A and B are shown apart, each in its own frame.
Chain A
């Protein structure tokens, strides 16, 4: 008898087992939804994402994540959908069975921005309990962004199990975001949610609070006060942010101008071809990256480090060549120098245009130059940070060189009093050539850095030449410290004016201010004093 019973139970279990597995294999909401991926219609895809994500089927996660990486292939003819893995193996998305190969007629299911948001939201609620910490954090953040009611259960479940503090906070915020928009949430829950968002205190919290729509009066009141306090703290942060942007712009101005501070500031040559030296530096970076891309792809992250000395040599050598062949005949004739170097800048531009073509060249950002990190409520991008540090390093090295090396001493001697320096046995014409080469070489280094934030095109230099002259004249001709202070002053002033006046008017205002300033102090911020001025 017991044997009989157990046999019955067995068969029952077997049939249940069969039902459980066989049924989904034919028709069900899940399979219908999966088939919709093959329609190549954005609305159908969106519907399918919703159904699949909410199905609780264990294939949901592989399907949605494949969709995100365009690994979900759909055959429009047979309406079959496949998940292809990174390892080349594929499974049938509806049944989970392995398939030998995906038919050629299948193509990746297409996404648009709206669908990418749905995918993020779906993946968010599916990965809230992932063993990986960063995945969990990301999941909590995408649920926060989408704040769909359907995710509430998953968030609560995850919250109960979560042990990590930062993920817990993120989950709490996601929960608050959902509750704020949930129509049947109690007033107490909503008030709590407002408090949580207030504590978060960033722009996204602000966005949720301002966009939450009709709420009970007590909630509206609490939200209004939360909005006020967030806005106050953001206003302070935006001052900090402007200051940082100003420093960053100042560092770019300084970098472009240091070379000119030598050729124009120290030597007095009105060098209109300065911008083209910057451009040559940028093109050197491009060539270095091209070689690395084709020959040594592993070195890509070091490409800028390799490009810096090369750019210095290329631009410096061309600088020496220009000085020896043109400029040395024109000392003391500023108008002719201006015209000759301007003509030279056109020649260099067209030469580069002929060699490399008129279109922009792609200079990639190494991984350490891309992206950003958050500091409080402001975003600091790595490329700007590195450029600031790089500029200061170049400035320090240049200063040390002029101060402590024999060449630096000779340079200062020649520019201060040429005849006396010559009588002391200094080969002035050699020093002239080297000084001009140094200025040009530094402009070349600037080109390496600027290639990271601007277009590498034959016109690159033109956009910096005016700014560079502005900085040098404003800072005081012949004074490197003046150039430093001038660049940062202009950068910060520009960035505080820009939000108020707009980019175009801001730039005009800066120019007007400089003109007025030069009227008052013709020699700039830091005028050279004493006999050197007359020489």
Chain B
């Protein structure tokens, strides 16, 4: 009797938390007071920027976790307890990410954190998670070259996105000349380094590769688009591999469209353009340009899991036009894996959950089952989608099976002998040549 009434209190508090969370800034306070009053909930930290430049991408992920928690609580929570979200706003400010992570773990005593988008924010919170021994689920495609005990990478590693995309262009579009265009920061630079090494290993000459970096938020693309046009007029089929960061893509595609470069002449394959980004532009001139992801909203599944997810999500957000995207799916998989691991060890103790996670399987939204690997990356299918006139993607190619994420790229000299193995070797950067663990540091 007593326990039932506390459950009700917990439920009402978490519902209150959820409601407030969607409302805006007040929510942090509301769920904090909720946290203090209800002790027998399991707290889940949400570390996504709700203001500043990254709010554009990260707000959706915050909503995703709140939605997943809501769904899980409807099913009775986990280990007989309700889940409760603790939402903080690191405001697109990298040092603040570390501060907020510390606050979540020490003050709010969360059992797990779902968060971060940019690599630099992940690097900023890493020491905190190591020191306080907690778990971070990181949902965004990234440059790889990392495997940490406290972090689970549910987004794509370069071999789960960039390399298959290049393979597709080589085989299907017979591309011989490559423009690697990116925003000037760590993810594009590392990815392009990997791609350059990969292309050269496939016999592409140096003069057939053009690498171009632009500042964040670059908006005047005239010169670069003209350069691409010029580079593409060497009599060989040319394609652009774009690691241009979200926001700068809109003026880039607009300039391409205005200068009359069509996808059938010079296709652009992008790694950071998804349904969410396309929602802000007129996609007619972009039809045929490509994106590589592990999930597309338009994918039809035999068991209807994607369709159901989209329907539930749109009902939850009360917006029938709300789109879904790849990092959201990564959170869905990561969240399901965490629940399964907690149920397996019947505890939310980070040490136990970290040991239990490798090997856990969870269905992804494209009809397959993803598995957590010993290097803390997961297996995923890779899809190439063409942009359609309605802002969605038409899948034109996919890998035959699931691709296992490589923490360390096989294309780079510095990392091709390294593996991450937190099960057997208990090491994130084990050198298979020398049989030694390089130890801490990435």
A positions within 8 Å CB-CB of B: 42, 110, 112-114, 116-117, 120, 203-204, 206-212, 238, 241-242, 245, 248-249, 252, 350, 353-354, 357-362, 364-365, 370-372, 379, 381-384, 453-459, 462-463, 495, 498-499, 502-504, 507
Instruction: With A372-B260, A459-B217 as known contacts, state yes or no: A359 contacts B56, CB within 8 Å.
Output: yes
Contact of A362 among B227, B264, B280, B386 (CB under 8 A): B280
Contact indicator B235/A209 (Cβ below 8 Å) = yes
Question: Measured between alpha carbons, how far is A210 from B174 in the docked complex, in Å?
Answer: 18
Contact of A381 among B219, B255, B264 (CB under 8 A): B255
B positions within 8 Å CB-CB of A: 24, 50-51, 53, 55-56, 59, 172-174, 184, 212-215, 217-220, 222-224, 226-227, 229-230, 232-236, 247, 250-251, 254-255, 257-260, 263-264, 267, 276-277, 279-282, 285, 288, 386, 394, 396
Contact indicator B247/A360 (Cβ below 8 Å) = yes
Q: Which residue of chain A has the shortest Cβ distance to B276 in the bound complex? A: A359
Question: Measured between alpha carbons, how far is A457 from B250 in the docked complex, in Å?
Answer: 11
Contact indicator A362/B396 (Cβ below 8 Å) = no
B254 partner residues in chain A, CB cutoff 8 A: 365, 383, 453
Q: Which residue of chain B has the shortest Cβ distance to A458 in the bound complex? A: B55
B232 partner residues in chain A, CB cutoff 8 A: 207
Q: Which residue of chain A has the shortest Cβ distance to B53 in the bound complex? A: A459
Shortest CB distance A522–B (Å): 27
24 pairs, A vs B, C-beta closer than 8 Å: A112-B172, A113-B263, A113-B386, A120-B264, A203-B229, A207-B235, A354-B24, A358-B50, A359-B59, A359-B280, A360-B279, A360-B281, A379-B226, A381-B259, A383-B254, A383-B258, A453-B251, A455-B280, A457-B247, A457-B280, A495-B222, A503-B223, A504-B184, A504-B214
Contact of A42 among B257, B277, B396 (CB under 8 A): B396
Question: Measured between alpha carbons, how far is A210 from B218 in the docked complex, in Å?
Answer: 32
A370 partner residues in chain B, CB cutoff 8 A: 257-258, 285
B218 partner residues in chain A, CB cutoff 8 A: 503
Contact indicator B235/A208 (Cβ below 8 Å) = yes
B276 partner residues in chain A, CB cutoff 8 A: 359
Shortest CB distance B385–A (Å): 11
Question: Measured between alpha carbons, how far is A459 from B277 in the docked complex, in Å?
Answer: 15
Contact indicator B213/A504 (Cβ below 8 Å) = yes
Question: Measured between alpha carbons, how far is A267 from B232 in the docked complex, in Å?
Answer: 50
Q: Which residue of chain A has the shortest Cβ distance to B257 in the bound complex? A: A370
Question: Measured between alpha carbons, how far is A458 from B280 in the docked complex, in Å?
Answer: 13
Q: Which residue of chain B has the shortest Cβ distance to A252 in the bound complex? A: B220
Instruction: With A203-B230, A453-B219 as known contacts, state yes or no: A110 contacts B250, CB within 8 Å.
Output: no
B234 partner residues in chain A, CB cutoff 8 A: 206-207, 210-211
Shortest CB distance A243–B (Å): 12
Q: Which residue of chain B has the shortest Cβ distance to A241 in the bound complex? A: B226
Q: Which residue of chain B has the shortest Cβ distance to A374 in the bound complex? A: B260
A211 partner residues in chain B, CB cutoff 8 A: 234-236
B173 partner residues in chain A, CB cutoff 8 A: 113-114
Shortest CB distance A483–B (Å): 19
Interface centre among B217, B220, B255, B285 (most CB of A within 10 A): B220
Report the 5 A-B pairs with minimum CB-CB distance, sorted nearest first: A211-B235, A360-B280, A358-B55, A203-B233, A207-B233
Contact indicator B235/A248 (Cβ below 8 Å) = no
Question: Measured between alpha carbons, how far is A353 from B226 in the docked complex, in Å?
Answer: 34
B235 partner residues in chain A, CB cutoff 8 A: 207-212
Contact indicator B219/A463 (Cβ below 8 Å) = yes
Question: Measured between alpha carbons, how far is A207 from B174 in the docked complex, in Å?
Answer: 16
Q: Which residue of chain A has the shortest Cβ distance to B283 in the bound complex? A: A362
Shortest CB distance A454–B (Å): 5
Question: Measured between alpha carbons, how far is A250 from B117 in the docked complex, in Å?
Answer: 34
Question: Measured between alpha carbons, how far is A459 from B230 in the docked complex, in Å?
Answer: 32
Question: Measured between alpha carbons, how far is A359 from B56 in the docked complex, in Å?
Answer: 5
Q: Which residue of chain B has the shortest Cβ distance to A209 in the bound complex? A: B235
Q: Which residue of chain B has the shortest Cβ distance to A459 in the bound complex? A: B53
Contact indicator A113/B282 (Cβ below 8 Å) = no
A350 partner residues in chain B, CB cutoff 8 A: 51
Q: Which residue of chain B has the shortest Cβ distance to A495 in the bound complex? A: B223
Q: Which residue of chain B has the shortest Cβ distance to A118 in the bound complex? A: B264
